[in-house]
């Protein structure tokens, strides 16, 4: 085997190990499992196609998370052109959840998280649920570690206040859907934290 083939194999092995964490981060950004899987696949493809720009020995997790995050924001800018799923069709495809109280509580957390500014929500999910270090999140977000610590602190305080006061908006997402999305998202983030 030549050097390039060995380098590609090493890159592939390291990238493959990050797939659960990338999917979890994508779910925290998209809040929709299907869109998150598409986002993670797009980011993996982009990482593979740009593997020559990756510097071996540096933090691949931060590098791939930055690709995923940039892809998310690029997709968001183009999203005004796409059509939304019909709510009646979505409601017919939902899986029944056995504990309605848990569904309502998780829906409250989802709606309260949505009220946080994007930078605070992202930092809180990456640190709190994703298990990344402040240094890794700082590298992913492209700002100082102190800024990330401040965002996380403000996000935690604000989230607790929102949940206590019930100061979050109602929306058209059914609580049963929110529960499924949040549980899958949190499970994925826990798996990613354990794998890290």
Q: Which residue has the higher pLDDT, 30 or 186?
A: 30
Tell me what pLDDT residue 90 has. Answer: 58
Task: Enumerate the H helices of the chain as residue ranges.
Answer: 3-17, 19-30, 33-49, 60-78, 87-93, 100-115, 118-124, 134-141, 145-165, 175-195
Taking 70 as the threshold, does the pLDDT of residue 72 lie above it?
yes
Tell me what pLDDT residue 196 has. Answer: 44
pTM: 0.46
Mean pLDDT in residue range 174-186: 57
Tell me what pLDDT residue 33 has. Answer: 86
Q: Which residue has the higher pLDDT, 61 or 97?
A: 61
> d(Cα 107, Cα 101) in Å, to the nearest integer?
10
Tell me what pLDDT residue 64 has. Answer: 92
> d(Cα 81, Cα 49) in Å, to the nearest integer?
26
Tell me what pLDDT residue 79 has. Answer: 64
pLDDT band at 32 (very low <50, low <70, confident <90, very high): confident
Mean pLDDT in residue range 130-158: 87
Domains of the chain, earliest start first: 3-81 (1.10.1740.10), 88-176 (1.10.10.10)
Taking 60 as the threshold, does the pLDDT of residue 102 lie above it?
yes
> d(Cα 14, Cα 29) in Å, to the nearest integer?
23
> d(Cα 63, Cα 70) in Å, to the nearest integer?
11
Taking 80 as the threshold, does the pLDDT of residue 138 lie above it?
yes
Q: Which residue has the higher pLDDT, 100 or 140?
A: 140
């Amino acid at each position: 085997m030549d050097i390039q083939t060995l380098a590609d194999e090493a890159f592939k092995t390291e990238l493959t190990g990050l797939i659960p964490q990338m999917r979890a981060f994508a779910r925290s950004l998209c809040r929709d499992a299907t869109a998150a899987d598409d986002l993670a696949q797009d980011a993996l493809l982009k990482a593979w196609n740009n593997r020559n720009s990756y510097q071996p020995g540096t933090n691949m997790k931060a590098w791939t998370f930055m690709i995923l995050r940039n892809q998310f924001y690029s997709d968001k800018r183009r999203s005004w052109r796409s059509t939304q799923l019909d709510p009646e069709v979505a409601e017919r495809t939902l899986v029944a959840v056995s504990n309605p109280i848990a569904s309502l509580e998780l829906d409250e957390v989802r709606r309260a998280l949505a009220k946080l500014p994007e930078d605070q929500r992202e930092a809180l999910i990456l640190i709190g649920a994703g298990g990344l270090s402040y240094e890794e999140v700082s590298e992913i977000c492209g700002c100082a570690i102190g800024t990330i610590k401040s965002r996380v602190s403000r996000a935690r305080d604000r989230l607790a206040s929102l949940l206590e006061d019930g100061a979050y908006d109602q929306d058209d997402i059914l609580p049963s859907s929110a529960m499924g999305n949040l549980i899958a998202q949190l499970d994925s983030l826990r798996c990613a934290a354990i794998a890290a």
